[in-house]
Chain A
Amino acid sequence: MTQASDFESHYDLVVVGGGPAGLAAAALAARAGLSTVLFDENPGVGGQIYRAIGSTPVADRSILGEDYWAGADLAAEARASGARIMTGATVWSLDSARLVGVSVGGQARIIQAGRVIVATGSLERPFPIAGWTLPGVMSAGGAQTLLKAQGMVPAGRTVMAGGGPLLWLLAAQILRAGGRIEAILDTMPRRNWLHALPHLPDFLLSPYAAKGLTLLREVRAKVPVIRVDGLEAAGDDRLREVAFNGRRLPADLLLLHHGVVPNVNLAMAAGVAHEWNARQLCFQPVLDEDFGSSVPGIAVAGDGAGIAGGTAAAERGRIAACAAIRALRPEAFVPDLQTIRQRLQREEMGRPFLDWLNRPADSFRQPEGETIVCRCEEVTAAQICAAADLGCEGPNQMKAFLRCGMGPCQGRLCGLTVTELIAARRGLTPAEVGYYRLRPPVKPVTVRELASLPVAEAERRAVEG
């Protein structure tokens, strides 16, 4: 087994995350002669979109679809490039001096990077409905991971709810795998079409249009789709029923999804400036055309740079890698950037349409009453609103008052909800409210691991006097 002591203390390029952006970036950089290491905390590379590429037990290629299998080339390219690829390696710290804190097998190391490409991708937007913490309620992405990595298909009475491309794709994959879905509860407001329509022509030119329509037809032919404007998971110790539109549907599994948002934790902890994206309703890093961030030497590529999908992520990774190569080995060969940028542009064309069409209604982003917002510390929407009424105008004061965001997930499943609730309650914009101030470690690290790290004399004196 690889250990933390097995790798170098310095790399030209450290890539964090082994999804399409990270794989493409590492491959390009390593081929150009940069000493490159890629860290991913999962057991294998591929990220979420190409999860378990190369190890999936799902043999029938039609189940996951050809878009999934495209990931095999990316992974192979990265493996052949000479980049060091470390899975099971959790990056928990990154600072403006590009010191990377990483743990492998319970051992921590600090690595100096010449450049860093943060390719930590996206995570599913929080979907805080009543009962979403009950066993039996799961994110659609989670169910898709079980399908890709372990060949597991939902059994028993399965209900899906929400919207967005991933929900429909997963529904199709479950059906192709012989699974059954009782109903899909579509939470997307009909009036989204008004905002989406002007962007339809661009969408029709994008690669997503034809695929999307086929997918919708495939699923609708087999599963009842019900439009809902409220949703509740009910049960005592586990999910028993899904309540909507005055109905109660018995269910064993409820899969929730209404889009993905950038996974900002590592970049924010490194001090990268972020801004509110009003269309995608999330924070994203402020980046230049090469995906360079406000912190010199740190780039953010892939969906972490703003949601655009897997194929776009790979192109973004390549652009960020080119910038690293230019900076560190200007004499090395880099592919034609113009071509990459054009491909990226085509990939991104359909985005505004998809974003507007799949924009979750306020009521599904800003819950009320006893609905839990912070799953770790079990803080409710009512508590957050009451603290906002006390004068709490930001998530950091809120965290101090209620402990929301203080659990092990570090706000990943409540941060956007808390920001939006405060904004709505105080009559501010989410941009004005801001986000949790994030600090390393962005993933838990043991006291022993932290204690094992090198300490400079000045740092020792700061503690021991």
Chain B
Amino acid sequence: MPAMREDYDVAVVGGGLVGAATAWGLARAGCRVALLDEGDRAVRASRGNFALVWVQSKGLGLAPYSAWTVRSSDAWAGFAALLRDETGLDVCFQRPGGFHICLSDRELEARATALKRLHNQPGAVDIRAEILDRTQLAKMLPDIGPDVVGASYSPLDGHVNSLRLFRALHTAIALRGVRYLPSHRVDAIARDGGVFRLATSHGEVRAGRVALAAGNANMRLAPMVGLEAPMRPERGQIVVTERLRPFLHHPISTLRQTDEGTVMMGDSHEDSIDPAGLTLGVSAKIAERALRVFPLLADANVVRTWSAIRVMTRDGFPIYDESTTHRGAFVVCCHSGVTLAANHALTLAPMIARGALDPSVVEPFSARRFHVQAPG
């Protein structure tokens, strides 16, 4: 029998932001890439995220995650410029500094404590976060309502038009010859000689390497290639208004105005993983808090609400791993597909292209951490 031949250097599984950023990075490194995707019906976090490029609050419990996040935040402007040059699409990345707003003294104290713990962790990087009282905050956000007691602030926080990012990445990969295969749900992965054979609903795809970037579905796919991706998906809900004239020039962790003018409000956490479900009371609570932050939103029309399933690893930190049993199989899995897009495209993908992850960069994010016994 003749030796199995691969059709692609790398098959990336998952056509969301993580997969598309990885595929683009691989193509830039000269790989022949196929991007396998469920397509329109996918439970797609990339279509339902909050579009923050967010640093503050990342890394409590795993200091290297802070550093990894800051690295991506710093790389984002260059990443956006590359995408613009290749596609002509401006993804509107801005880093004007962002806020986490508190509506009670208790919330503000909890916030200050969290930042202090983050700062005091061994190996912590400086995220330049500070606590602002109401007076300081009102100078930067004059429209805040009387219930706002203060906020935390980091100048490293920013946001982007994540839907345009999604489109820009797909445009860029098409321009670089990546083969995008929608409606290709991967059912099984086998290794035959040096070739990965991916069985999909639309036939088999063969590749020399495989990168799993399928969000929560990595839980199902990773064991097929000797990897693991323990996940605990959860549902978040977002409320969106009609387009308004610009009034808010900074992103807030739960509220932001897009470049198009719409105001997004969100940040709920529910255990349900029914993507079609929507809890009216959750929307009401989100709206009520948004109104307390900015009373001038009272008469703005809500034109859309949606729920999406967060990609969430069991401990909330990314999983980047390389299989020891199936050489050439990688998993790229994280919650923050927007914030970390620059890293995935510019740092991680080149490692996969070279065939090995650089432990000095990604060792902390191996799933092996889930096997370490907690002390005591």
Interface residues in chain A, defined as those with a beta carbon under 8 Å from any beta carbon in chain B: 93, 95, 99, 101, 110, 271, 387, 390-397, 399-403, 406-408, 410, 433-434, 437, 439-441, 444-448, 450-456, 459-460, 462-465
Contacts A393-B182, A399-B47, A464-B289 known; 12 new A-B pairs at CB < 8 A: A271-B276, A390-B170, A396-B41, A434-B41, A440-B278, A445-B302, A447-B300, A448-B287, A448-B298, A460-B281, A462-B270, A463-B267
19 sample A-B contacts, Cβ–Cβ < 8 Å, listed by A number? A99-B280, A390-B167, A390-B171, A390-B174, A390-B180, A391-B39, A397-B47, A401-B167, A406-B304, A408-B242, A439-B278, A446-B299, A447-B291, A447-B297, A455-B284, A462-B268, A462-B269, A462-B285, A463-B286
* Chain B residues within an 8 Å CB radius of A444: 242, 301-303
Which residues of chain B in 122-163 are interfacial with respect to chain A, using CB atoms and an 8 Å cutoff? 163
What 10 pairs between A and B have smallest CB-CB spacing? A394-B40, A459-B281, A444-B301, A453-B284, A450-B287, A451-B288, A451-B287, A391-B180, A448-B298, A401-B167
- A94 nearest CB across to chain B (Å): 10
A68 CA / B300 CA spacing, docked (Å): 38
A451 CA / B286 CA spacing, docked (Å): 8
A461 CA / B290 CA spacing, docked (Å): 16
Determine if A462 and B304 form an interchain contact, defined as CB atoms under 8 angstroms apart. no
* Chain B residues within an 8 Å CB radius of A437: 276
* Chain A residues within an 8 Å CB radius of B306: 439
Determine if B285 and A460 form an interchain contact, defined as CB atoms under 8 angstroms apart. yes
Chain B contact residues, majority secondary structure: mixed
Which residues of chain B in 68-84 are interfacial with respect to chain A, using CB atoms and an 8 Å cutoff? none
Interface residues in chain B, defined as those with a beta carbon under 8 Å from any beta carbon in chain A: 15, 37, 39-41, 44, 46-47, 163, 166-167, 170-171, 174, 180-183, 237, 239, 241-242, 260, 267-270, 276, 278-291, 297-307
A75 CA / B285 CA spacing, docked (Å): 39
Determine if A391 and B285 form an interchain contact, defined as CB atoms under 8 angstroms apart. no
Determine if B41 and A394 form an interchain contact, defined as CB atoms under 8 angstroms apart. yes
Closest A residue to B104 by beta carbon equals: A464
Determine if B303 and A453 form an interchain contact, defined as CB atoms under 8 angstroms apart. no
- B24 nearest CB across to chain A (Å): 13
- A454 nearest CB across to chain B (Å): 7
* Chain B residues within an 8 Å CB radius of A452: 284
Closest A residue to B39 by beta carbon equals: A393
Determine if B280 and A453 form an interchain contact, defined as CB atoms under 8 angstroms apart. yes
- A385 nearest CB across to chain B (Å): 14
Q: A447-B290, A450-B239, A462-B279 are in contact. Are A394 and B284 (CB under 8 A)?
A: no
Within 8 Å by CB of B282, from A110, A271, A459, lies: A459
A298 CA / B37 CA spacing, docked (Å): 35
A441 CA / B239 CA spacing, docked (Å): 10
A129 CA / B300 CA spacing, docked (Å): 32
* Chain B residues within an 8 Å CB radius of A393: 39-40, 182-183
Determine if A439 and B305 form an interchain contact, defined as CB atoms under 8 angstroms apart. yes
Within 8 Å by CB of A451, from B40, B46, B279, B291, lies: B291
* Chain A residues within an 8 Å CB radius of B291: 447-448, 451
A445 CA / B270 CA spacing, docked (Å): 24
- A449 nearest CB across to chain B (Å): 8
A395 CA / B40 CA spacing, docked (Å): 7
A393 CA / B202 CA spacing, docked (Å): 14
Determine if A396 and B305 form an interchain contact, defined as CB atoms under 8 angstroms apart. no
Closest B residue to A433 by beta carbon equals: B40
- A433 nearest CB across to chain B (Å): 8
* Chain A residues within an 8 Å CB radius of B171: 390
Within 8 Å by CB of A401, from B170, B242, B276, lies: B170
- A170 nearest CB across to chain B (Å): 31
A18 CA / B364 CA spacing, docked (Å): 62
Closest B residue to A92 by beta carbon equals: B302
A465 CA / B234 CA spacing, docked (Å): 14
Within 8 Å by CB of A440, from B40, B282, B305, lies: B305
A341 CA / B237 CA spacing, docked (Å): 43
Determine if B304 and A439 form an interchain contact, defined as CB atoms under 8 angstroms apart. yes
Closest A residue to B41 by beta carbon equals: A394
A452 CA / B280 CA spacing, docked (Å): 11
Determine if A394 and B39 form an interchain contact, defined as CB atoms under 8 angstroms apart. yes
Determine if A403 and B276 form an interchain contact, defined as CB atoms under 8 angstroms apart. no
- A344 nearest CB across to chain B (Å): 32
Closest A residue to B288 by beta carbon equals: A451
* Chain A residues within an 8 Å CB radius of B46: 400
A23 CA / B255 CA spacing, docked (Å): 42
Determine if B280 and A110 form an interchain contact, defined as CB atoms under 8 angstroms apart. yes
Determine if A455 and B288 form an interchain contact, defined as CB atoms under 8 angstroms apart. yes
- A342 nearest CB across to chain B (Å): 38
* Chain A residues within an 8 Å CB radius of B170: 390-391, 401
Q: A394-B41, A400-B166 are in contact. Are A450 and B284 (CB under 8 A)?
A: yes
Determine if A400 and B47 form an interchain contact, defined as CB atoms under 8 angstroms apart. yes
Determine if B305 and A441 form an interchain contact, defined as CB atoms under 8 angstroms apart. yes
- A289 nearest CB across to chain B (Å): 26
Closest B residue to A465 by beta carbon equals: B269
- A346 nearest CB across to chain B (Å): 39
Determine if B270 and A447 form an interchain contact, defined as CB atoms under 8 angstroms apart. no
- B79 nearest CB across to chain A (Å): 19
Determine if B284 and A441 form an interchain contact, defined as CB atoms under 8 angstroms apart. no
A455 CA / B237 CA spacing, docked (Å): 14
Determine if B163 and A447 form an interchain contact, defined as CB atoms under 8 angstroms apart. no
A81 CA / B241 CA spacing, docked (Å): 39
Closest A residue to B266 by beta carbon equals: A463
A7 CA / B304 CA spacing, docked (Å): 26
A293 CA / B280 CA spacing, docked (Å): 22
Closest A residue to B170 by beta carbon equals: A390
Closest B residue to A426 by beta carbon equals: B182
Determine if B302 and A454 form an interchain contact, defined as CB atoms under 8 angstroms apart. no
- B163 nearest CB across to chain A (Å): 5
A451 CA / B37 CA spacing, docked (Å): 38
* Chain A residues within an 8 Å CB radius of B37: 391
- A142 nearest CB across to chain B (Å): 22
* Chain B residues within an 8 Å CB radius of A462: 237, 268-270, 279, 282, 285
Q: A393-B40, A393-B183, A410-B303 are in contact. Are A387 and B285 (CB under 8 A)?
A: no
A408 CA / B302 CA spacing, docked (Å): 9
A208 CA / B235 CA spacing, docked (Å): 51
A444 CA / B305 CA spacing, docked (Å): 10
Closest A residue to B296 by beta carbon equals: A447
* Chain B residues within an 8 Å CB radius of A460: 281, 285
Closest B residue to A399 by beta carbon equals: B47
